[in-house]
A and B are shown apart, each in its own frame.
Chain A
């Protein structure tokens, strides 16, 4: 590193300090590695993929998303998904896929293969090289496409989807009591 870069870094750090007023970092929001790829924050992990689409891939996916009016309610039954995002890049030749979920993504990959194989292949079958959700190599394939985020923030790193659902119910029940 040369003098110029050192000065530049020191300047950035000073500006960052001033911007945050030196606010201490909360350990609850620390991120660690989620294993072979991806970041983990508390109970949650992130998965980011940028990958080539098959020639008709974007068109197929758009048809699916438009039919659903962009409403992916069905994903709720997985029970560990906090969010999912599909973005087409570079003139519809590439897909950016981002998701946040509880635990490790590979824990339930076998369950996806028997519970929702049609849905998995209908969507991800538009990716170049997708081996099929039932393929023994699907884990390695996903891992090979994964790009680890450089920074990641989630508001409640210790609340899983199941926790949020339960707390929502408890809150609703309490409100009902208060309004009696």
Chain B
């Protein structure tokens, strides 16, 4: 089925049949899935496993059709070392990838509450080598694909299942744990064969996201060697966040009196109402129909809201994609975009509850970029944990910033702005890693080394 109302067909200029589906496909609504991490005990056995699993890896061919379950594979640097790749290949990876996310914590501002010492034990080990991710539109499809993969896995004793993390749409209707519509905006990729319907943004050069193509500067970012290994691959950011939903609900109640005022504050922090409707299109009241309309809910920029009175500069949505905002620091927005395919985990907290039930819930933040390490460091330092680029000194992102009870949130206003204070961290980092997601032919190449 071609999603006519979402995309219009354009020329295909990138090798969709070789690029992994997860990078381009939108998640089905609702989605079900599993992320599995494998440890390599024996390289020969692991390569044989990869050779047999390659035919099950889903390509991005016809990526706009997300009907069938899809399987994706990626590798940590530890995993590539375990596979005994040629030293020249291992050496050719960017430094930040080789060192890993935990070792770059200072650069990432992953400190204090978010420091690697506080992460889940499973993210402190070096035995997460291969990641396998399966996504499907229902549990039957998911289990069928999972069974196939497990049957292959069981044959090879050199690969051990380390941990398995299931994920599902947290709240029916594709809402995240905080009760907001999820996964609305992703960058459009030039030559990917289909365009989204945002008239205010142009497609971004494929080389920003996928290796082997020109980037926005007309160049290539550093990529592993040889080219046949790098081509159609990308880097993956994997971060596990624990969402403090009760604390969020509590903060709204402490800061605003009426239910309407609380909802407005929540919308101002996110940039959208819970339905997904952007504040600049309906500033006073949520509009559920607009929020659900994927042809309209992302078709805007901030050129008519330069004072931030509709969508505050500091809101999560405006920070992560300033869309023609006048910024205090010269920035090329198209260089700092990522493809986001994050998924929720854990049971939902009862609607509006301000009491934490002690259960683990949150987000597996999964994102793709040809320079993922550089982009994540940029985002964390400049757009998430600082406000300088929008002349807001050290104010941080209200949703994913490291606010630690000292956070502020500024609403532009006449004659004076309104400032909320004492904001806690609403999403705490529990682990993270970088992975390399090769093209499908590159997995074959690797399995035959």
- Chain A residue with minimal CB distance to B334? A114
* Docked pose: A162 CA to B220 CA in angstroms: 32
- Chain A residue with minimal CB distance to B333? A111
CB distance from B322 to the nearest CB of A (A): 12
Cβ proximity bits A106-119 to B, threshold 8 Å, 1 near / 0 not: 01101101111100
- Chain A residue with minimal CB distance to B415? A173
* Docked pose: A171 CA to B295 CA in angstroms: 45
Interface of B, helix, strand, loop or mixed by DSSP:
loop
* Docked pose: A113 CA to B391 CA in angstroms: 23
Q: A108-B329, A134-B218 are in contact. Are A160 and B388 (CB under 8 A)?
A: yes
Q: Is B219 an interface residue (CB 8 A)?
A: yes
Cβ proximity bits B201-230 to A, threshold 8 Å, 1 near / 0 not: 000000000000000111111100000000
Q: How large is the interface on B (under 10, 10 to 19, 20 to 34, 35 or more residues)?
A: 20 to 34
Q: A79-B327, A80-B329 are in contact. Are A110 and B217 (CB under 8 A)?
A: yes
Q: Is B331 an interface residue (CB 8 A)?
A: yes
Across the interface, B332 reaches (CB within 8 A) one of A77, A102, A111, namely A111
Across the interface, A136 reaches (CB within 8 A) one of B222, B330, B378, B388, namely B222
- Chain B residue with minimal CB distance to A163? B393
Q: How large is the interface on A (under 10, 10 to 19, 20 to 34, 35 or more residues)?
A: 20 to 34
CB-CB contacts below 8 Å: B327-342 with A: 327-332, 334-335
Which among A80, A107, A111, A136 has the highest number of chain B CB atoms within 10 Å?
A111
CB-CB contacts below 8 Å: A70-116 with B: 77-80, 102-103, 107-108, 110-111, 113-116
Contacts of B301 in A (CB 8 A): none
Q: A134-B219, A136-B221 are in contact. Are A110 and B382 (CB under 8 A)?
A: no
* Docked pose: A136 CA to B374 CA in angstroms: 13
Q: Is A33 an interface residue (CB 8 A)?
A: no
B391-A111 in contact (CB<8A):
no
Q: Is B296 an interface residue (CB 8 A)?
A: no
Contacts of A162 in B (CB 8 A): 328-329, 388-389, 391, 393
CB distance from B396 to the nearest CB of A (A): 15
* Docked pose: A108 CA to B335 CA in angstroms: 10
Q: Is B81 an interface residue (CB 8 A)?
A: no
Contacts of B389 in A (CB 8 A): 162
* Docked pose: A9 CA to B181 CA in angstroms: 67
Q: A134-B218, A163-B393 are in contact. Are A79 and B332 (CB under 8 A)?
A: no
* Docked pose: A113 CA to B216 CA in angstroms: 9
* Docked pose: A103 CA to B391 CA in angstroms: 14
Q: Is A13 an interface residue (CB 8 A)?
A: no
* Docked pose: A103 CA to B329 CA in angstroms: 11
Q: Assuming A78-B329, A114-B334, what are 16 further A-B pairs, CB within 8 angstroms?
A: A103-B382, A107-B382, A111-B330, A114-B217, A134-B217, A136-B219, A136-B221, A136-B222, A160-B388, A160-B393, A161-B328, A162-B388, A162-B389, A162-B393, A163-B388, A165-B328
Residues of B near any A CB (own CB < 8 A): 216-222, 327-332, 334-335, 374, 378, 381-382, 388-389, 391, 393
A-B contact pairs, 29 of them (CB 8 A): A43-B388, A77-B330, A78-B329, A78-B330, A79-B328, A79-B329, A79-B330, A80-B329, A103-B381, A103-B382, A107-B382, A108-B329, A108-B330, A110-B217, A110-B335, A111-B332, A111-B335, A114-B334, A115-B332, A117-B217, A134-B218, A136-B221, A136-B222, A160-B388, A160-B393, A161-B328, A162-B329, A162-B393, A163-B393
Which 6 A-B residue pairs are closest in the complex by CB-CB distance?
Answer: A162-B328, A79-B329, A162-B391, A134-B217, A113-B217, A114-B332
